[in-house]
A = this chain, B = another copy of it.
């Protein structure tokens, strides 16, 4: 399995740093190869083409993020707690790797449309995690069930994504993790069983 060979990881990690520091359009394969300490041609022994580096990078890093979120959330009791943990872990992980945050929120989005469809595939795994929490919340009767489920998980992801993107565009000058509580509160209230007066 190529993914476990050391050069595979070297190249992925080099790509994150090179793209974060130079921007997507100034990150030539030769620059990534140099940073990774391998020859240009070697890249093509581990990746089909340049796009494949980016997809692999996203799968790899986002996969780790999702895995981490799963770990953290399962140890919580209620859906409400799980949701808070999800938002916090998501924010913490990206706050912990400035380069990765730039790459996922800004640079990778400059890739072509096809790549973005593949990125969306990776995000389906994230949607599953959100889905399970929504399920639990509904069973716990703290989340209502009268909203389009697929839509809701998109909205939740969209909120977090927008919050992080803004933080990256503001050059990470404030603490994004501090916003987790408000985002969580907004979501929890949004999903709460409607009071009599509402609707």
Q: Identify the A interface with B (CB < 8 A).
A: 23-25, 106-107, 109-113, 116-117, 120, 147-148, 151-152, 154-155, 157-163, 166, 169, 179, 182-183, 185-192, 194-195, 198-199
Contact = CB atoms under 8 A, between A and B. Distances in A.
B113 A147 contact: no
B151 A155 contact: no
A148 B184 CA distance: 12
A185 B155 contact: no
Q: How many copies does the complex hold?
A: 4
A127 to B, nearest CB: 10
27 contacts: A23-B113, A24-B112, A24-B113, A25-B112, A106-B113, A106-B116, A110-B110, A110-B111, A110-B112, A120-B169, A147-B185, A147-B186, A151-B182, A155-B186, A158-B158, A158-B159, A158-B161, A158-B162, A161-B162, A162-B162, A187-B190, A188-B198, A189-B190, A189-B191, A189-B198, A192-B195, A192-B198
Main secondary structure on A side of the interface with B: helix
A111 B23 CA distance: 12
Nearest to A183: B155
Select the residue from A106, A117, A189 with max chain B CB neighbours within 10 A. A189
Given A157-B162, A158-B161, A159-B158, A152 B186 contact: yes
A159 B163 contact: no
Contacts of A198: 188-189, 192
Contacts of A190: 185-187, 189-190
A160 B158 CA distance: 8
Given A189-B191, A189-B198, A155 B147 contact: no
A185 B146 CA distance: 10
A151 B117 contact: no
A109 B115 CA distance: 13
A194 B199 CA distance: 16
